[in-house]
Amino acid sequence: RDRGGDWSSDVCSSDLCTIVCTLALTIGLNGGYGQNTVSAASTKNNKIVIGHRGACGYLPEHTLESYSLAYGLGADYIESDVCLTKDGIPVIMHDITIDTTTDVAKLYPNRKRADGHYYVIDFTISEIKTLSVHERTQEGSTTNVVYPGRFPLNSAHFEVPTLEEYIQLVQGLNKSTGKDIGIYPELKQPKFHTDNGQDIGTVALKVLRKYGYDTPKSKCYLQCFDPSYLIKVRTKMGAKMKIIQLIGEEPDSPGANYKKMMTDAGLAKVATYANGIGPWYEQILDVDGNKVKLPVTNPNLVKDAHKHNLVVHPYTFRKDDLPKYVTSVDQLMKRFYFKENVDGIFTDFSDHAVKVLANGPKK
């Protein structure tokens, strides 16, 4: 039943992946982006860069190629999203559906649900492995991409990785480069998985434990939007690794009250089971670049989180989706790292965050 191993032997075997690994390592290790040849966490400020869906600003999200590039660009942690297949294999996919990042509609036209969507959990791992991942398209379209400046649509073949393949890639690169880069997996929609007869936390924890990630010192942050499920992961399932409570918009997670969570008292509660929070950056600064105000959200969110020993890792910094109060992503990152004093950021462009941290607050 545990077929994870069947799919884990061919990490980084495709020609394209080999090329990308080579390219990324060359950039990362030879300092192609200036003098900064070390990962950001080793700089004295101890702030981190999280490669969001790998380096999805440059390559299709959640592919081994994208992770390899993020690694080479100097990210401290490589982020992933975990969903389960019909046969219970943890795979990496941002959504519980696969319509907008794979060719599923072409290969399996009769497998959509009544709502018109194709779900990871309705496909076996063998079927998932036949899919080709492509640059994200807009909902309902197979031709309009979300970010037109990014990797061209359908111009190369990429596979959906398993959780094990992602881990093996990062651990393999840690061995071959001598670095110690971490993983940052997200449990996607636990309630949806439970409603469909599977428990994502149990399955994911089994894999994470197999690879040595379940200690407070492990280079692993486990993240999830669902607070009651994270409490269960910490208590009932006994997870010992660092946990990040993601903070979304209210409708995203039924049962969660993020407004309450972001108050001083709410953060005190989060600190009983988590080690940090992952808010949207507009929950720290509004669209005009001003502190968001109570009672809607907390103008002292970062300070209050730090008071409760919670790190703050806001999402998602993109150079092709900037707020009006900055003219470059570097400026935005600098503002958050050094003025808002966050501890790390999720970014599609790890190279920029590495550069901003290397330059420090003065430059």
Of 78-86, 98-106, 197-205, 301-309, the window that binds Ca ion (rule: CB under 5 A) is 78-86
- Binders of Ca ion: how many residues, by CB under 5 A? 2
Buried b / exposed e over 156-188, threshold 16 CB at 10 Å, is: bebbbbbbbbbbbbbbebeeeeebebbbbbbbb
Q: Closest separation between CB of residue 22 and Ca ion, Å?
A: 27
| CA–CA distance, 303 with 312 (Å, rounded to integer) | 9
Q: Closest separation between CB of residue 280 and Ca ion, Å?
A: 12
Of 106-114, 153-161, 180-188, 273-281, the window that binds Ca ion (rule: CB under 5 A) is 180-188
| CA–CA distance, 39 with 176 (Å, rounded to integer) | 15
The tokens describing 190, both together, are 């636990």
Residue nearest to Ca ion (CB): 186
Q: Which is nearer to Ca ion, 7 or 225 (CB)?
A: 225
Of 12-20, 75-83, 84-92, 191-199, the window that binds Ca ion (rule: CB under 5 A) is 75-83
Q: Which member of 61, 159, 186, 330 binds Ca ion (CB under 5 A)? A: 186
Give me the 23-62 binding string for Ca ion, x by CB under 5 A, dash otherwise. Answer: ----------------------------------------
Q: Which is nearer to Ca ion, 58 or 334 (CB)?
A: 58
Q: Closest separation between CB of residue 293 and Ca ion, Å?
A: 27
Q: Which member of 81, 159, 226, 343 binds Ca ion (CB under 5 A)? A: 81
Which candidate in 62, 94, 134, 193 is catalytic? 94
134 is catalytic: no
52 is catalytic: yes
Of 109-117, 178-186, 235-243, 330-338, the window that binds Ca ion (rule: CB under 5 A) is 178-186
Catalytic machinery residues:
52, 94
For binding to Ca ion (CB under 5 A), which residues are involved? 81, 186
